[in-house]
Amino acid sequence: MAYVLKIKGVIICFCMAVVITALSLSAYYSGAYAVYFGSTTRKLPVYSVGTEEKVVALSFDCAWGTEHTDAILNELARENIAATWFMVEFWTEKYPDYVKKIDAAGHEIGTHSATHSYMSRQSAEEIKSELSSSSQAITDITGKPVELFRAPYGDYDDQLIETAEEQGLFTIQWDVDSLDWKDLSASDIAMRVLNAVQPGSIILMHNNGLHTAESLPLIISTLRARGYSFKTIGDMIYRSDYTLDNNGRQQLITQ
């Protein structure tokens, strides 16, 4: 009886090893965005970067207004920090001088769609149109190609990520949400960021948050005191040879 149980145990272990190997190969060949959730495969955007280096990226979504944008730019310039700005097409077209100003200051610019819609509800053709026109609007002003895309409302599905990838765009989410759009106080914004940040974090902020600029000195000085430095998202993410865990955190494939 013990012998039979031992044989059964060996067979079960062998079967499990075969299944794990098959899943691993499937994940590898389905692309870096493929992540397993139970029995289904779902594509994810990049939420953060798996790294031992103490580095983070500040990002600002631009969809409405510019009243507080100069104050943010002044703080970043004072601290010599380049950030990533995601611009909606209608904002880009309404404020071309700010697009030029942000670009001239050495910041990185990505698209935040054309219409700031829930893009998971759109067809593939509608998505292609939004990504193409919004990227072109930025390029027409800066003369630089667009490589990064952030979905409005953080809303996405497989089709959106696949279509963006076909357009040569990395879909970028965030793992630290400042909630600055809720007009929190500067200290509350800073505490939300500082309590959640980790190496490789992508921090979400907005260009027209009421107290966003005020929160930056505390965020920047505290993170630097902790040994952190700042990069743009484009400089921080892995472009190839990576996988994503189920939290959307990039992990570099080591040979």
How does pLDDT run across 232-250, given as a tens digit for each residue? Answer: 999 999 999 999 999 999 9
The strand pair at 34-37 and 40-43 is best described as antiparallel
C-alpha distances in angstroms, 205 versus 5, 11, 182, 191?
58, 53, 11, 13
Q: Give the global pTM.
A: 0.85
Give the pLDDT of residue 255.
62
Q: What is the CATH number of domain 48-252?
A: 3.20.20.370
pLDDT at 116 over 60: yes
49 vs 193: CA distance, rounded Å? 16
Domain residues of the chain, as ranges? 2-43, 48-252
pLDDT higher than threshold 90 for residue 8: no
**pLDDT on residue 30:** 34
Q: What is the pLDDT of residue 113?
A: 98
Helix ranges restricted to H, the chain: 2-29, 69-78, 89-94, 96-104, 124-142, 158-166, 186-196, 212-225, 233-236
pLDDT digits (tens, 9 = 90+) for 75-113: 999 999 999 999 999 999 999 999 999 999 999 999 999
